[in-house]
Amino acid sequence: MKSHDLFLLLLIVAFTVSISVEAQNQAGFISLDCGLVPKETTYLEATSNITYKSDANYTDSGLVGKINDAHKKLVHQQLWALRSFPEGERNCYKFNLVANRKYLIRGTFVYGNYDGLNQPPSFDLHIGTSKWTSIKIVGETDTIMREIIHVLTQGRLQVCLVKTGRTTPFISSLELRPLKNSTYVTESGSLVLYNRVYFSSDSTSIIRYDEDINDRVWNPLTEDDSTASISTDQYVNTNNIYEMPQVVMKTAAIPKNASAPWNLLWTIDNTTALSYVFMHFAEIQDLKANEIREFSITYNGGQPWYGWFRPAKLSITTIYSQTALTSSNGEYNFTLAMTGNSTLPPLIQALEIYTVVDILQLQTDKDEVSAMMNIKITYGLSKKISWQGDPCAPQLYRWEGLNCSYPDSEASRIISLNLNASGLNGTITSDIIKLTQLSELDLSNNDLSGEIPAFFADMKLLKLINLSGNPKLNLTVPDSLQQRVNIKSLTLILGQNMNPTPKKESKTVLVVAVAASMAGVFALLVILAIFFVVRGKKGKSTDARGPPPSITSGIVKSETRSSNPSIMTKDRRITYPEILKMTNNFERVLGKGGFGTVYHGNLDDAQVAVKMLSHSSAQGYKEFKAEVELLLRVHHRHLVGLTGYCDDGDNLALIYEYMANGDLRENMSGKRGGNVLTWENRMEIAVEAAQGLEYLHNGCTPPMVHRDVKTTNILLNDRCGAKLADFGLSRSFPIDGECHVSTVVAGTPGYLDPEYYRTNWLSEKSDVYSFGVVLLEIVTNQPVIDKTRERPHINEWVGFKLTKGDIKSIVDPKLMGDYDTNGAWKIVELALACVNPSSNRRPTMTHVVMELNECVALENARRQGNEEMYSMGSVDYSLSSASEFAPGAR
């Protein structure tokens, strides 16, 4: 084949996988004919058998238009109409989809001189807050198609058209197709299609649905002077995860000169771009007894990439790049060449080339986005031109009337909302309370009615509320809100009230931001003094008793604080004002849980995590005190260190060392940027967490049982080093005589030792059980409990799967087979021993650590072996290149 503008690359064979083909019923397809009217219209497009519908329900802006009638015969029906966006800088389509699902997203654009201006436009496409690609229309009849393969981290998607000049953005059709998550895997980022071709003698036959059940568009690449086409009428087994169309796999290209190297080349203008390539092969000729087709693939300059490959007879094999590829000059040259054993030239059926784009996931907090969308709908604010896409991000397109915070590595938060003179009517919506970081709220000069809501008093960061200019609003101020006004933690502006309804002993307020009278202040001080005297007496009483403990969601609800003496030591005690200062008034949220909220802070030039205990938390003062006193006396490199604590009145806080990469569960699920933890990472995390737990069991005096071992309590630092956290439920156990202690059951469902749950007898083997569940999560990346599985609990599911003796059926498919099989068997057997129903038959954590160290050693040996194997392939092939790009066995 001639070295013209083609492409390609490389490695890792995905051998034939037996999976069922999904029914071709367009399940999950969203196919929008943009600008189609009336909006209830649907139709079946004749060439593809795809059902299209109007886009009207997916966007609330834009104008409909139609291309020039003379151009309609050149394009398919879904491209006859379009939607243009002459107003606003950013206009978006909104979709509610499946979180953590992979989608192919395709936009198609045909200008067709719909506006009679003969000015083909240029503009950008965004996914959420990030640029996907640029669109530049050249001719009236040009058809521009753009595709991206993207994994949704949340259940919503926004595709936005962004104006970049004076011309008007438009779109002809927008299509979404769900894909299997195991396909088109990347180290990071989303995949933008550069080219997708199949080799055919027919230059006019574009393949898509329903030949391709995923509706990928395949363009034919025909033979030239250096190549020839071959084909077969026989069935080709295409049952691997890529589900290739039969018509694509039944034709292939071969070089006419079999003895000469066959070059596949392409050039990417962006020389810094990362790329991924997928090649699809099948032997479709009947080979004679003495015929062999075997070839190798080399990359730029003859470096070996995949060698001694023999396509399977009438069965697909997909070879693809396991890691992203780069080229300093943007040129890629891949050579397919016969080996010394081969009698036949190389062949190839199809190839796909993608470049990587990073779609930033750090958008506005999802709860606040939901709240703003509800506010938009409640008050009919769809006509606000700027209210498109994400409310805060990117900052250039922030919604009008909003101010937001932009922390470095967390979602943006709304800190002020100004809806002055926005035509609001009806009552004040409770969705406002979901804007938890709000400090200023302006609802003035509208037509609001009803009561001033009491929930304003619960918004602790709210400093200013302006409700003036709402003549129908009842200006009675709730007591809880009035108290905040009195102590000057809140300014409430009501303005002139024509018909006030004051509370008893209150006065009509013009601006309720005034200091309380001296008598009121004096009374308040007297009340507070009495309160603290009474509370002090209760704290000293030895007879005070709290309510009996109860179990809520598997976690102990502790006694009231009055039955627990305060923490003995004052070392590292921090006041609440110091907490406010170090967190910058709780500006940046790191996470939330049943215990409360964790905030980012800075203490003595070091980053810290500040866990504020919620008043409604199941983790009460007893658990808080236990955690402080435990962490003040135990120190281990794999236990999260306590930097300080706050025990200031009702304000309880724990200040930990900062763990930049969050918890293990987030990293396994892809919520920390989408990167897949390697098998090596997972083994190291497992052994480090085990060492921390082993220290609690054997290194402490007295020994400790953690009681809440789970993946969300294993935290990772910036180097992915693991530390065990959250010791609020920890208990000591005896070392002489009895081997267990009787206690109220505590822990997390799914991780809870069934023997402990049944008998209330706690021992270190209860932690071993929980850690076994964690090991199974690390191997499988499956939820601990999933009622849709044939076996809901992960222990039972793994055991059920292993009855067939196939470890691959349970190992996380995101690893793409890149792990040591012996190590995988070893860790699964160890995990199943840990979750044995009988605690006497479970190993100790000392034994667990020893076994896990052997798994790490196996993985290290495998990786060293791979490097040696591939570096020996060529004198010029550097060890570093082999380590980075060499394929593992598949």
Active site residues: 708
Q: Spell out the residues 6+ positions from residue 194 whose beta carbon is closer than 8 angstroms to its own.
A: 7, 266, 268, 275, 353, 354, 355
What is d(CA 659, CA 665) in angstroms, rounded to the nearest whole number?
14
User: What are the percentages of helix, strand and coil residues in the chain, rounded to 5?
Assistant: 25, 25, 50
User: Is there a cis peptide before residue 210, judged by omega within 30 degrees of 0?
Assistant: yes
Judge contact between 820 and 679, C-beta under 8 A. Answer: yes
What is d(CA 492, CA 481) in angstroms, rounded to the nearest whole number?
9
Tell me the CA distances in angstroms from 125 to 92, 162, 426, 762, one per residue in order.
10, 6, 37, 58
Q: Is 703 exposed, middle or buried (0-12, 13-18, 19+ CB in 10 A)?
A: middle
Q: Residue 384 carries which side chain, given as an amino acid letter?
A: K
Lookup: tokens for 740: 């267990």
Lookup: tokens for 691: 């060492």
Judge contact between 304 and 267, C-beta under 8 A. Answer: no
Q: Residue 729 carries which side chain, given as an amino acid letter?
A: L
Tell me the CA distances in angstroms from 15 to 9, 33, 280, 418, 574, one per residue in order.
17, 38, 11, 58, 59
Across 358-437, where does the E strand assignment appear? Answer: 402-405, 413-418, 425-426
Strand order in the sheet with 596-603: 589-593, 596-603, 606-613, 651-657, 642-648
Lookup: tokens for 655: 């200040």
User: Is there a cis peptide before residue 749, judged by omega within 30 degrees of 0?
Assistant: no
What is d(CA 546, CA 221) in angstroms, rounded to the nearest whole number?
78
Phi, psi of 447 (to 5 degrees): -125, 40
What is d(CA 848, CA 772) in angstroms, rounded to the nearest whole number?
9
Judge contact between 418 and 401, C-beta under 8 A. Answer: yes
What is d(CA 479, CA 484) in angstroms, rounded to the nearest whole number?
9
3-state secondary structure of 758: helix
